[in-house]
Structure 1
């Protein structure tokens, strides 16, 4: 089982957004979110619920399952790094 990881969610969202050359302002507008909300998701200080992940995926021009698959991959590849980061941030 894969444990939810808000840092992985944020890294993937930021990476895909930048690959699509979208600013936080544009991406958040397309998703119907405040720019600050998207920024907090990207930096891992806010957890995204399923509805928010769905909105972000659509704003990035992808199906939600594609975004979730990328997040899953990120979690698997960086599991040890994330544990250290969480321990450091307390």
Structure 2
């Protein structure tokens, strides 16, 4: 299977999930850097997750949810997924 290049259109599901993460982060008045640190994810990677530029692994969804004090399913529900 061919690898998808970096120039592909963002997947709408990833954009929605990233927006849900960002909304919860902002509601908690956390900086992106603070959330990334709490979730043990590189800050630049967190930015790409929030912009829907990276496919989020299950483990990172768990880390993010734990860092913002919610269930992983809450993020998916917020994203409409």
User: Structure 1 or 2: larger helix share?
Assistant: 1
| CA displacement, residues 14-48 of structure 1 (integer Å, 9 cap, x when unaligned) | 11100111001100000000000100000111111
TM-score, normalised via structure 2 length: 0.79
Aligned length: 71
Q: Name structure 2 gaps, 5 residues minimum.
A: 1-11
Aligned CA-pair RMSD: 1.7
3-state DSSP of counterpart to 2:60: helix
Q: CA deviation at 1:68?
A: 2.1
Structure 2 residue 49 is matched with structure 1 residue 60: no
Structure 2 residue 36 is matched with structure 1 residue 28: yes
The runs of at least 4 aligned residues of structure 1 exceeding 4 Å deviation read none
Q: Name structure 1 gaps, 5 residues minimum.
A: 76-90
In 1: Cα distance, 2:35 partner to 2:45 partner: 11
